[in-house]
Amino acid sequence: MISDYSEGVAYIDDHYVPLRDARIPITDRGFLRSDATYDVAHVWKGNFFRLDDHIERFFWSMEQLRMSLPLNHAEIRHILEQCVSKSGLRDAYVQMTCTRGVPPRGSRDPRECTNRFYAFSQPFVWIATQQQQQRGVSMVISDVQRIAPEALDTRIKNFHWLDLTMGIFDAYDQGALVAVLSDNAGNVTEGAGFNVFSVKGGALTTPERNVFEGMTRRTVIDMARQFGIPCQLTAMPRAQLKDADEIFITSTAGGIMPVTQLDGRPVGDGQIGPMTQQLQRSYWHRTSSDPRNTPVPYENTMEKENI
């Protein structure tokens, strides 16, 4: 019997299975305690973008959470490649996850758990669809506070998303698509799965503290250096974001996405700005041509296109 991998592929317990059939133990602390870390790479037109950088960051996150796996960088890379190869997806969202694992019966000691590795691929995920991006997305500055980095280093990608999820509800309640959270000093931080940039007077600014240092964020900073665009990593008060000429958000799930409305008011003239357009074009060009790209070793030439 041939497995149907058209909706994606998961890797669990040394086996590849259709994504819809993937299961994890209900007693895994990753589920019970959000005791896990993960990273997400993407495949675009048959190429992984900065896959080695994603895996390197994944190992760093595990180290910070005192986790480890009996897999090295190359082995994880091979598993992720196989998840995409078996699915045939040309454009894909690919996640690797390490959970604390299942504790011995009656134990609360995380040191007694055997850490577990999971991975999966699925069709590409968009925070804002291409149609939404053509007119720009609406965003609000939420009153929900981002968890403080003194509690948990937000550079570690993790499943603690309740503050971010409440921000999503806040956006929907106000008729917007996305919300960016603030810290306890009133500075803008990040949103659910994305970083934020402002443009003012031809210069870029993005929050430096209390944010996950996204791979797309890194790429924008690299492009700014290449194009000679001033780019400052610093605290960003709410008022500064509201005064921006242009705003865009960045994520593996969508690249560079323009924001044309903030808190119900137009950003700048309400149109997608020239710097946002320049960086957006350059980003998608890089996803196809960057020397750090990794071609997916598809199992056959009849590669399936995303629906």
Does any domain span residue 306? no
Residue 301: per-residue pLDDT: 41
Residue 304: per-residue pLDDT: 43
* Per-residue pLDDT at 305 exceeds 70: no
Q: What is the pLDDT of residues 96-145, one digit of tens each?
A: 999 999 999 999 999 999 999 999 999 999 999 989 999 999 999 999 99
Least confident of 53-57, 224-228, 295-299: 295-299
Q: Is 257 exposed, middle or buried (0-12, 13-18, 19+ CB in 10 A)?
A: buried
Does any domain span residue 183? yes
Residue 300: per-residue pLDDT: 65
Q: How confident is the model at residue 157 (pLDDT cuts 50, 70, 90)?
A: very high
Does any domain span residue 210? yes
- Which CATH number covers residue 232? 3.20.10.10
| Whether residue 69 is found in the same domain as residue 173 | no
Rounded to whole angstroms, the Cα distance separating 21 from 204 reads: 44
The answer to whether 37 and 58 are in contact (CB under 8 A) is yes
| Whether residue 200 is found in the same domain as residue 248 | yes
Q: What is the pLDDT of residues 222-244, one digit of tens each?
A: 999 999 999 999 999 999 999 99
* Per-residue pLDDT at 94 exceeds 80: yes
| Whether residue 71 is found in the same domain as residue 148 | no
DSSP3 helix / strand / coil % (the chain, rounded to 5)? 30, 30, 40
| Whether residue 266 is found in the same domain as residue 163 | yes
| Whether residue 52 is found in the same domain as residue 175 | no
pTM above 0.85, yes or no: yes
Structural domain total, the chain: 2
The answer to whether 181 and 146 are in contact (CB under 8 A) is yes
Domain residue limits at 49: 9-125
Does any domain span residue 299? no
| Whether residue 120 is found in the same domain as residue 147 | no
